[in-house]
Amino acid sequence: MKIQIHGAGISGSYLYFLLRDEFDVGIDDVRAYPDCRCGWGITYKEAKKLYKGISINFDEYILSKPRYVITDSLKIKNRNIVTFDRARLLSELWKELEFKKIESKLEVDATGFKRAYLPRIKNDKIYSAIQTIERHEVDENIYAFGSKTGYAWAFPLGDGKWHIGAGDVTLERAKLLVEYLRKIYGFEEKGFECSCRAYIRFLPPSKCLPFMNGNVIGIGEAIGCISGFGEGNTPSLFSAKILRDCLINSNLEDYEMRILKEFKWIEIEHKFIEAIQEGKIFKFLLYLLKVASIEKKRTLNYSFRDVLSIIVNQIFRGIMR
Ligand SMILES: Cc1cc2nc3c(=O)[nH]c(=O)nc-3n(C[C@H](O)[C@H](O)[C@H](O)COP(=O)(O)OP(=O)(O)OC[C@H]3O[C@@H](n4cnc5c(N)ncnc54)[C@H](O)[C@@H]3O)c2cc1C
């Protein structure tokens, strides 16, 4: 089968390598060089396994293994989040991509938040994000500061470099969050090496249907493979792997069901964020427990005390600010 992949971001380029030995694959991108707009955080175990599938040693791209995730009210031991050199990894993959458009039976929409080939999503939610690369002498932890609708982050990139950024419903709110983050953790504003604006889709897969339309099928953020906390790297890679499995086993009709099943945890995280945004206390408590249990397995070493502290903190703030 001939397959054309549109978008050579993290999911599209990965899918290309997964398929190139078994199919006739073309790939195209609107950009001349890879898009590096991302905090570069990723879940280590999953990334290592996924990239091994295309013969890449993920360890070579790790920049930092932060010890803790620190918010204004919590300090939680990190188990599985690392930062990686996404720009270098994608640049190296791009050198091996053969950019071309072929007459294809199947087209893949891997264009991220743009979703350029699938039908538009009714009531789509696209948030604004900003980010800079700066130098700071601060302990290598992940620092975060959240509001009702977004959060600011500081991700260590090793050698004193940091990604400082935020995502929220508007650019103004994102900028404000960065200001708070700077004040609280001491990331003084003193110039940057690089700065960007970007967009993030804030919807789970179930709200991004259809995943297939005619001969087009979506992967990655185009179909909502991004968590309520903005984690889209591993989910996007994983969606590409699911598509590859369906293609190899000639059961594309299972693709939608498999995506919805695999990313149930993303649906739950979005419900949790929804509860915060709506200020619904019981929904918040219910989903907090579910999210804590999901993330304990995936990323962080939560204790019961940590969960309790989140509850008390949010209740004192009226679950919002
Ligand atoms: C500021 C920011 C910080 C983030 N931080 C993190 C993080 O730390 N950890 C994490 O897990 N996730 C993070 N995310 C989310 C994550 O980066 C995305 O969810 C992920 O990159 C989505 O992968 P993708 O392959 O679907 O799309 P992308 O990686 O965005 O790739 C889409 C590609 O499609 C191309 N394209 C667009 N339109 C067209 C078109 N018409 N034709 C052809 N090509 C096209 C683009 O040029 C791009 O190369 C962040 C996002 C942002 C914006």
Residues 50-68: tens digit of each pLDDT: 999 999 999 999 999 999 9
In contact, 229 and 220? CB cutoff 8 Å? no
CATH architecture of 1-40+85-120+204-262: 3-Layer(bba) Sandwich (3.50)
Q: Does the beta carbon of 218 sit less than 6 angstroms from any atom of ligand 1?
A: no
Helix, strand, coil share (%) of the chain residues, nearest 5: 40, 25, 35
Q: Does the beta carbon of 40 sit less than 6 angstroms from any atom of ligand 1?
A: yes
Give distance in angstroms: CA of 281 to centre of ligand 1. 33
Atom 48 of ligand 1, residue of closest alpha carbon: 9
Domains of the chain: which residue ranges? Answer: 1-40+85-120+204-262, 65-82+125-202, 264-321
* pLDDT band at 298; cut points 50, 70, 90: confident
> In whole numbers, what is the pLDDT of the chain averaged over residues?
94
| Residue 174 burial (C-beta neighbours within 10 Å; 0-12, 13-18, 19+) | buried
In contact, 178 and 152? CB cutoff 8 Å? yes
1-40+85-120+204-262 and 65-82+125-202 share one CATH topology? no
**65-82+125-202: CATH number:** 3.30.9.10
pLDDT digit string, tens, across residues 188-240: 998 999 999 999 999 999 999 999 999 999 999 999 999 988 999 999 999 99
The answer to whether residue 313 scores a pLDDT higher than 80 is no
What CA–CA distance (Å, rounded) separates 166 from 134? Answer: 14
| Per-residue pLDDT, 305 | 73
Q: Does the beta carbon of 230 sit less than 6 angstroms from any atom of ligand 1?
A: yes
The answer to whether residue 317 scores a pLDDT higher than 80 is no
Peptide bond into 210 cis (omega under 30): yes
* pLDDT band at 73; cut points 50, 70, 90: confident
Give distance in angstroms: CA of 223 to centre of ligand 1. 12
Q: Does the beta carbon of 110 sit less than 6 angstroms from any atom of ligand 1?
A: yes
Give distance in angstroms: CA of 221 to centre of ligand 1. 7
The answer to whether residue 279 scores a pLDDT higher than 90 is no
What CA–CA distance (Å, rounded) separates 300 from 110? Answer: 29
The answer to whether residue 321 scores a pLDDT higher than 70 is no
The answer to whether residue 26 scores a pLDDT higher than 60 is yes
Kind plus residue range of the DSSP H or E element containing 262:
helix 255-262
Q: Does the beta carbon of 142 sit less than 6 angstroms from any atom of ligand 1?
A: no
Choose the weakest-confidence range: 82-86, 117-121, 244-248, 307-311: 307-311
pLDDT digit string, tens, across residues 33-48: 999 999 999 999 999 9
Q: Which of 115, 217, 226, 266 to mutate to test the pocket of ligand 1 (most atoms within 8 A of CB)?
A: 226
pTM to 2 decimals? 0.95
The sign of the dihedral angle between the CA atoms of 234, 192, 30, 55 is negative
| Per-residue pLDDT, 202 | 95
Q: Does the beta carbon of 156 sit less than 6 angstroms from any atom of ligand 1?
A: no
Q: Does the beta carbon of 9 sit less than 6 angstroms from any atom of ligand 1?
A: yes
Percentage of residues in the chain having pLDDT higher than 70: 97
